[in-house]
Structures are given as C-alpha cells and as structure tokens.
Structure 1
Amino acid sequence: IERGEPVATNCDADDPAAAGLGFVSCLVVPVVGTHGAAMGALELHATQPKAFDARAVEMLQLLGTLVAGTIERARLKEEVREKRRIDSDLLVARQVMEDLIPRTIPPLHGFDVAGVNEASFEVGGDYYEFIPLPDDRWGLVIADVVGKGIGAALLVSAIRASMYALVGRELATRAVMRRANRFFHDSVEEGKYVTLFYAVLDVPSRRMIYVNAGHQPPIVLRANGEVEELRSGGVPLGMFESPRYFEGIAALDVGDLFVLYTDGIVESSDAREDEYGRERLVTTLEACRTEPAEDICDRVMDDVRTFSFGSQDDRTLLVLKAIEEGAPAPVS
C-alpha cells in the first residue's frame, strides 16, 4: 500500500494465516484514488502456486479503480450533504444574530453614540444591547458567547432574554450578574460560558455602575489623555455555580471617550500571528478621538481589517463620546 504497487507473493512465507487455510498464492493490489493516495487494498488467495499472472493483476487493478471511484463518490456525496447542512446552520445563525443586534442605537442626551458588529464566516456569539430603564437611565450590555454557529446564536438569544428579564426587575448590577450566571450555569452544557460587561448609565449625570464578567475591559479615554480600563467584576458567566461579582463606578466628562469591544478586535492577528492588541487600539482611538463616534468606529474597524490576515473572529465595537449639554451629536 505504501508503494502503491501490486504484490504477488507466497502465502507460506508472507501470510501464515492464509497458508493455514490451504492457500498457496496471494495477490495484493492497492486501491488508489484519483489523487494518487492509497485508500486500501484488494487481496486474492489461491490454492495453486503462482496462480496470478499479469492478466490477473490487470483485472484486479481495474476492479480497484472501480472501487476507488465508488468510495470517492460516496465521500463526495457525504461532504456535499455536510456542507449543505453547515451552510443551512450558518444561515439560521446569521438570521438569529441579525435579529439580536440592534438595528438602530437610541439617542442619549449628552452623548454621541455609534456601534458596529461584523460577523465572521462561521458566525460567533458577539452581542450588544441598549436596555431602557426608568429615570433616563440605560442598561448597556456587550457580550461574547463561546462557540460558533447556530449553537452560539441560540446561547446569545438565551442570555439576551435572561438579561432583559433581570434588568427589568430593577436589581442591583451585581445581583443581575449573579442571577444571570446561575441561569447560564444551570442551562447549558459544561464548558460553555459567556464574557459579559453590564453597566447602568445614568444619562443626566454621566455616571455609571458596572460589572465586568470576564469581558475585554472597556476603555475610557479621558479628555486629558489618560486611559482607564473598567475591570471590576468577576469571572465569565457559567464557569462556576456561585461566584461573587463586584461593582465598579465610572463617571464621564465632556470630551471623554468610552469604548466597548469584543476580543475579535484586540485578538485579530496578522500574517506573523501577532495580535492587534490593546495598545494599537488605544493609539488608533487617540488619533481619531475628535471625530464623530460613527467615524471613530469606521477608523478602528478599517485599521483592524488592514492589520488582520486570514480567518478571524466576530468583531464588535461600541463608542460613546461625551459631548456638551444641548450640543447636537456630530454628523459624520
């Protein structure tokens, strides 16, 4: 089989098991596919010595060619069926995720807001949400569910429904995360989890209380150039049954830039497998911070695309820019 050539041999010397059954001659012909790869072998035994001549070898090789063709056609049909199934699952996953990602972003007084989501070919579990709350407050959610395809899309749908139900009950942010974690932990198979950042933004005061459940830390780029990361929180949802979560507080002033993102941004890699990284993201933000939020999103995404090589993960980016009270949001 390794050499891809037929072999006629003496069973007594090379195949004692066959010889024990009374066979004397043995002919082995490899089954070779169209690309030259051996797929197996056909083996004949005879009770007469030197029973297989060149004609027998030729006939068995012809049979091997027919067998190889049959195997390859069967494999091709199975591959086509599998590809159709995968394509169907991906189509469903894309439709689910398109319905989950907000088509419009609500106007927030005193903020210029923009967001973008780019799904990978396989469709991952990136998701963001603006949830209206009483007293001019908004719940901000950005999450990344582990996995791809329809499975990830369904998990996103489940965690979204859970967050909506919990946030609507006016619970403290850490309580929302504890209960969301319990739901996720009890509802999905072991090894599945979601990184999620949840904040309650009080629009008039520009103050927010947040919990970061293992998500990429959002960046606050201050007007004076200082950079802060919002890390307070705990582990991703679903990893443990009863983890503790801690709240953080952040306030935004005019000129500050608040940026939320998923790992598809900072973990995008180039041809040398170097990652885009947080430092490059901050540098890009600093270079375009005076532009409208929508243009900032475009600049960052363009830079990530230029940097990246090959297949990448989903990418999601949200930008909230604190502007003067009463000032209209800039037009890109």
Structure 2
Amino acid sequence: MRHAHGTLFIGRTARHKGIRTYLSVFTIVCGTDFLVMIPIEAGRTDRMRIVQAYSDFSRGQFNKRVIMRILSRLSVAVSYPLMTLLLVMGVFILIGILALRGTRATTSDLMIRLTDQATERMRQYVLSTLHTPIRIGDFNAELVREGGMSIESSDDLSSQVPFLVSQLQAWRGVSAILISNQDDNGFWVERTPGGDLRLYEFFQEHEGYCVEWALDDLGRKLPGELSRFEYDPTQRPWYRAAIDSDDGVGWTPIYAWANSQEEGIVGSGRSVRLDSADGDLVGVIDVGFTVNDLSRELEGIKISPNGRVLIMDSAGMLVAANGIREADATTSGILASDSVDFEISGAVQALAGPDSFYDEHGFHHATFTGDDGEIYQVDSELLKQADGPDWTLVTILPESDVLAGVNVVQGRLIYASLVVLLFSAFVAILLARWITIPIVSLKRSAFGIASGNLDERFSSRGGLEFTQLSDALERMTRGLRERLDMRTALEVAMEVQQNLLPQKAPSSSSLDIAGFSVYSDETGGDYFDYPMLSDGTGDTNDESVTIAIGDVTGHGIGAALIMCAARTALRTCLLPDGSLGTLLRDVNTSLYGDVPNGRFMTMLMLRLAPDGSHMDWASAGHDPPIVYSPRLGTFNEPSGGGVPLAVLSDEPFEQYEMRLPEGDEIIFTATDGVWETANSDHELFGKERLMDVIRESSALTSEEIIQRVIEALDEFRGSTRPADDVTMVVIKRLP
C-alpha cells in the first residue's frame, strides 16, 4: 500500500486456517524529516488493527498540533514538487473521471434536456405546418363573409373550383380543400398520392351520391366522370367538427377520406362553420391534409442522425411520422402502438409503461431497448395550442446519437488534460532539479535497491531530515534482504502454478466457455481445468466437455502443493465416459493419506454434452453450479454432493444429471471466494448479488460475464486485491 506520506509492507505465511498465522508487518512512514518502523507478529485481528491504523494515518486523521509541526519542518525543496504533482494528478484524475465515466445522474439529466429540446423543436415545426390550414381556412371564410366568394348555389360552388385548385397547388402541405353551403351542396378538390388533381361534387341533383372528376392543372374538369359513390355530408367528420364546435372551429380526428381509390386515404383537417348575422348556417370550409403528406413534411425535421418524430391523436391513432414505412401511414389509420415499425410501437408502449415519468417542465419521458440492444430515449409533449388538434408529439432518440457528441467532448477533455498533465509534470521536473545533492544521492541509492542491488548504501550527507531518512532506509534495506529469498521462491512457485492452469478454453460451436483464477497471495489453492481425452487441440464439437473446479483450504505454498497433487490425480484417473462420482472417489483415494490432517479440498466436476442439451455433475463438498435461463428469467441451483476430498477414506460420490431444455442456459460455477467476498463493513457479497450480475450481463459472452463479476467484486470490496482466492468458470450455450 502506497501513500504520499509513506508505505505499508505486509507479508504472511499460513499453514492452515484456524491454526497459527505468522504476520510480519513492516511499516515505514517516510516524510522529509521523520521515519517510523514497526515490526509486528500478530494474528488476523491485530493485522486488521494495524491496517486500520495505517488507513487512519493515510487519511490524515492527525491532531492539528502534530500536523502543524510536521508542515513547519518540511523542506521547500520537497514540498514544492510534491504539492505540484499532487495538484496536477488531482486535477487530472478529476477531469478523467468526469470525461470518461461521468455520473448516472448527469447523463440522465443530459438525455432529458436534449430530448426536451428536440420535442419542443418538433412542436414549433408542427405548429408552423398546421398554420397553413388555419390561414387558408380563415382566408376563404373571410371571403365568403365579405361576399368575395359566392357559394349559395351549385353553379356558384363550381365556379370556385379553379380558385381552390390554385390554393392547393400553392401550398404543398395541404392535401384537400372543401366547401359546402347551407343546402349541404358542396365539393372538395384533392391532390392524390400520385400528384393528380381530383374534384369530388356532392350536389342535391346527384341524389345522395358523390361524383369524382379528374382536373387539369388549371382546375378544369376533364371529360367523363371517374366514379360515384354514396355520400352523406352531414355524417362526415369534417361536418360534425364544424357543427358541434362551440366557436365554429374544430379539428377532425384521423379518419378515412371518401373516394373511389382501392387503397383509401387517411387524414385530418380543420373545419370552419360559416354563420349569417342571424346565426343561420351559411356553409362549412374544411382544409385537410393526409397523414402521408404530414409525414413527408416531418421528414424535414432532423433531430439527430437516426432520430424519429411522430404524432398521434388523443385516441392513440398514428397521425404522422418521419422515416415511416408507407404501408404504416396509409389506408386505415392504425393505432401507433400496433405499428409494425418497432421504434414507433416500442416508444408508445414505453410511454404507457410503469417506468415512464414527467419532468418538471411537463415532458413525458420513457426508455426502451431495441432488438439490437440500442437504448432509445422517448419524449412526448401535447401540442398545446388553443386552435389546434388534440395531438401528442413524440421524439425517439437513440442514445448512441445523443452520446456521440458527449464522446467527442470527452475525447477533447482527455487530450486537454494530458497536455496540462505533461506541461505540469515538466514544470515539476524542473523544480525537482533544484533539490539538493543529498536528495539526489538518496534517490540514486533507492533506485539501486529497486533494481535488486540490496548492497547499496545510503549517504547521510545533508541536514537532520536527510540523516534520519538515510538511517531509516538503511534499516529498511536490511529487512528487505531477509525477505528477498522468500519472495524469489514464491515467484517461482507462482509461475509454476499458473502454468498448471489451462491457457485456453475448449472450442465449440455450441458452447462458449471461459475460466478465470486469481490468488490472494503469490500462490493459492484454487484450481480449474478442462481435462480432455482428445488430441489436445481444444476442438470439442464432436465430444463432451469436462470441467473441473476446486478449492483447497488455506492459501500459500501448502495449498498450492495440494492443488497440484489433485490435478495430477484427476488427470490420471479420468476415463472416457466414466462416472464423475467414480472419478471423485478415485481422486479422494489418491489424496487421502497424503494431505495433512485439517487440510482438505472441495471439487466440482461437470460434463456437458457436445450440443449442451444436458449436463452430468458430481460434487465433493463444493457448491453446485448455478444455471440461469435468460428466456425464463430463472435461476436453478441443484442440490446434491458429498464430503470434501481427503476427509474420509473410501467415500462414495454420486453423479447427477441435469437437462438443459431452453437452449440459452448460462452455467456459472466458482469457488467460495466469489460470494464470500466481504466489504469494509464485513458484509458478504452473497449469491443474490452474483445472480443479479449474471442476469444483467446474460447477453454478453462468457469472458465478458466473468469480467462483469470481477468488476462487481472489486467495487463491492473497495479494492482490486481479494482477501481469498477467486476462481470461476462460465459456460454459455450458443444458439
């Protein structure tokens, strides 16, 4: 453990848990004018006290008087470079955390603000688009009221066709313009999806029918009527919207327009009721648009590279959307939640879900995840216009679009912080060059020791603080010499033991297998293996896969030796298609008598079919495998097993069989160092947290699942150094 004020070295040897533990703690607190060395032999409780005492020291929990005394004796040659580097590193770490990780709250707030802005932009755009029907309708209504447009008779109405056609061609966002008089005679001109002009007349002389005509670009009828169909204007939505409105103005809901086309047209419009001074009905003017036309207008809204916008009415009917498939926006006027476009239906369903919420500005927010794993942010807002339809505006933004700019900013912050760090480090180096010759000499000697030359001597030249530091480092060097031989032996043992673990997982088209092991000391007692009977190529497509995982009590050299003996016995006793229970019995027989009293080993054996459809397993005191099915969302931890190895002689072990019918199972097995990981409050990680991590990372590969578990353990523990050996193997069935 390192700190700006000193270093804590801890080493230990253990024969067995619960017997005697020798702990050597060598604590060196190095300032510029003092040094303290504490040799300690203690048990686990005393060791924790020493570590806690050092932790208190490193956090600066001092008496104010002691702090002031230390600071007053610090050399400027030391304090200036040190404070400069600490300041630079602190700023760099802070910028790095903000740029690379950020916080969940900040990201969430950013997403909410961006989606709110996008929705408000769309609302303003839609309001400007809807302003066209309002202007045309009010303009024509004013003409009728002032006598500039006569609509009293059928002939009067027919004479207005060219005028309305010119309006239709001038305003591309409008699809149809309709006028009727007090006798319910009327017509409308309409632009078809193909761009042709049509005239629809419903006069009394047509005896309840509407007659369809083709028009040229000047609004003149072309010879020969195209069709006729029954038509009652008083029952049409445009008529009811005007008549039933209190102020004589109303927006129609989304409805199918009357025409002779095989595939109908769906749209909406704004109807204006014309009344005389006496309050009698003079006529109705309706200016409408199709959902296709409005969707084409929405194509001009680019809220992000892959962002979507849509409009739905109060009944949930899809009014318009950009990027929508043509079949979704025509014919029948579908419910937005029933759209085959998964982004539209997913957004509407998310807004109706329990996880949606309203922010302080009244925007409705929700999220959903696409089939490709992309997370979409959904934001909705009412149109909120007095003279406007009762519509809801919805924006759909992929998080990748929104965070693209954030990533660019983060990259720039990283580059800027690196420049600042390099510049400040350069300045600090210049300051360090001014440090006195004794400090340079001490550094040279320290580097010599770091390179392995423990015969290096420290010069005692300089003031009091340098003399004290030199003497302290001399005592430290003598202690390091005594430990070097033991450390070298441990490194050799660690290298040998690491080479005994499998270097790669079996290769299979049906199974994704990954393993991981880390020891709390240089060597440990955890073990996993893929003992195979093939030629060693690792290709297991045509044969079953055998997996072994074990845990020896204790740590260090003793546990490592037992682990090696168990590995040898396992590979020696393994037979083709033999019973896993028999295999554990043979391994137990081999170990019993060779393992000292009080020491034992747990082991779990798995054998999976080539296609992963079933699994045989046997346990010697080891926790059974955890099986998770993402499709069902359930965990299964089978029961069974025997006593640990090397406890009883001639102990029988049973083999169990487990079917894996879902085809997506994730099999997780590990040593107890995973779920017995403890935090600073002595709370255990537990299997419930482990299952949560497996569930959240079930879509990842086996190796990535292991990495997520490791990250969760490190975060829970508060450090990356485990107190116990940690080993795990993950098998994931592939589709």
TM-score, scaled to structure 1 = 0.70
Query: What secondary structure sits across from 1:233 in the alignment?
Result: coil
Give the equivalent residue in structure 1 for 2:266. Answer: none
Deviates more, 1:166-175 or 1:250-259: 166-175
> Aligned partner of 2:651: which letter?
P
Per-residue Cα deviation, 1:227-248 (whole angstroms, up to 9, x for no partner) = 1114322011011113232221
Matches within 5 A, 1:127-276: 127-133=527-533, 136-168=543-575, 170-204=577-611, 206-222=613-629, 223-252=631-660, 253-276=662-685
Give the equivalent residue in structure 2 for 1:304. Answer: 713
Shift in Å at residue 79 of structure 1? 5.4
Q: CA RMSD in A?
A: 2.6
Distance between the aligned counterparts of 2:490 and 2:612, measured in 1?
42
Q: Structure 1's 237 and 78: CA in aligned 2 closer, same or farther, altered over 3 A?
A: farther
Gaps of 5+ in 1: 1-33, 38-74, 325-332
Distance between the aligned counterparts of 2:36 and 2:609, measured in 1?
65
Query: What secondary structure sits across from 1:299 in the alignment?
Result: helix
Deviates more, 1:207-216 or 1:117-126: 117-126
> Aligned partner of 2:678: which letter?
S
Contact 2:533–2:576 (Cα < 8 Å) also in 1 = no
Distance between the aligned counterparts of 1:232 and 1:82, measured in 2?
48
Distance between the aligned counterparts of 1:112 and 1:282, measured in 2?
19
* Number of residue-to-residue matches in the alignment: 256
Give the equivalent residue in structure 1 for 2:731. Answer: 320
Q: Structure 1's 35 and 110: CA in aligned 2 closer, same or farther, altered over 3 A?
A: closer
Distance between the aligned counterparts of 2:646 and 2:712, measured in 1?
33
Give the equivalent residue in structure 2 for 1:280. Answer: 689
Query: What secondary structure sits across from 1:150 in the alignment?
Result: helix
Query: What secondary structure sits across from 2:530 in the alignment?
Result: strand
Distance between the aligned counterparts of 1:99 and 1:189, measured in 2?
25
Distance between the aligned counterparts of 1:100 and 1:284, measured in 2?
29
Per-residue Cα deviation, 1:9-60 (whole angstroms, up to 9, x for no partner) = xxxxxxxxxxxxxxxxxxxxxxxxx9799xxxxxxxxxxxxxxxxxxxxxxx
Identity rate, percent:
29
Query: What secondary structure sits across from 2:557 in the alignment?
Result: helix
Shift in Å at residue 212 of structure 1? 1.0
Contact 2:612–2:733 (Cα < 8 Å) also in 1 = no
Q: Structure 1's 224 and 276: CA in aligned 2 closer, same or farther, altered over 3 A?
A: same
> Aligned partner of 2:593: which letter?
D
Gaps of 5+ in 2: 1-34, 39-474, 535-541
Per-residue Cα deviation, 1:160-212 (whole angstroms, up to 9, x for no partner) = 11101111365311111111111111211111111100122221353221111
1:83 pairs with 2:490: no
Query: What secondary structure sits across from 1:267 in the alignment?
Result: coil
Shift in Å at residue 150 of structure 1? 2.1
Distance between the aligned counterparts of 1:307 and 1:180, measured in 2?
36
4+ runs of 1 displaced by more than 4 Å? 34-37, 75-82
> Aligned partner of 2:724: which letter?
D
Contact 2:494–2:522 (Cα < 8 Å) also in 1 = no
Shift in Å at residue 304 of structure 1? 0.5
Give the equivalent residue in structure 1 for 2:143. Answer: none
Query: What secondary structure sits across from 2:674 in the alignment?
Result: helix
Q: Structure 1's 78 and 231: CA in aligned 2 closer, same or farther, altered over 3 A?
A: farther
Distance between the aligned counterparts of 2:717 and 2:731, measured in 1?
25
Larger-Rg structure = 2
Shift in Å at residue 309 of structure 1? 4.3
Per-residue Cα deviation, 1:119-152 (whole angstroms, up to 9, x for no partner) = 2234311111112247601221001112222222
> Aligned partner of 1:185: which letter?
Y
1:289 pairs with 2:698: yes
Give the equivalent residue in structure 1 for 2:129. Answer: none
> Aligned partner of 1:102: which letter?
P
Deviates more, 1:261-270 or 1:196-205: 196-205
> Aligned partner of 1:175: which letter?
T
Q: Structure 1's 151 and 81: CA in aligned 2 closer, same or farther, altered over 3 A?
A: farther
1:93 pairs with 2:493: yes
> Aligned partner of 1:292: which letter?
T
Query: What secondary structure sits across from 1:132 in the alignment?
Result: coil
Distance between the aligned counterparts of 1:119 and 1:270, measured in 2?
18
Contact 2:582–2:652 (Cα < 8 Å) also in 1 = no
Q: Structure 1's 260 and 178: CA in aligned 2 closer, same or farther, altered over 3 A?
A: same
Give the equivalent residue in structure 2 for 1:126. Answer: 526
Shift in Å at residue 76 of structure 1? 8.0
Contact 2:579–2:655 (Cα < 8 Å) also in 1 = no
> Aligned partner of 2:697: which letter?
C
Per-residue Cα deviation, 1:264-298 (whole angstroms, up to 9, x for no partner) = 11111100010111110001111110111111111
Distance between the aligned counterparts of 1:82 and 1:249, measured in 2?
54
Q: Structure 1's 261 and 205: CA in aligned 2 closer, same or farther, altered over 3 A?
A: closer
Q: Structure 1's 276 and 36: CA in aligned 2 closer, same or farther, altered over 3 A?
A: closer
Q: Which has the higher contact order (CA 8 A, sep 6+)?
A: 1
Give the equivalent residue in structure 2 for 1:106. Answer: 506
Per-residue Cα deviation, 1:66-121 (whole angstroms, up to 9, x for no partner) = xxxxxxxxx98995465234313321231122111111111123111222222223
Q: Structure 1's 36 and 178: CA in aligned 2 closer, same or farther, altered over 3 A?
A: closer
Q: Structure 1's 242 and 289: CA in aligned 2 closer, same or farther, altered over 3 A?
A: same
Give the equivalent residue in structure 1 for 2:397. Answer: none
Query: What secondary structure sits across from 1:114 in the alignment?
Result: strand
Deviates more, 1:254-263 or 1:116-125: 116-125
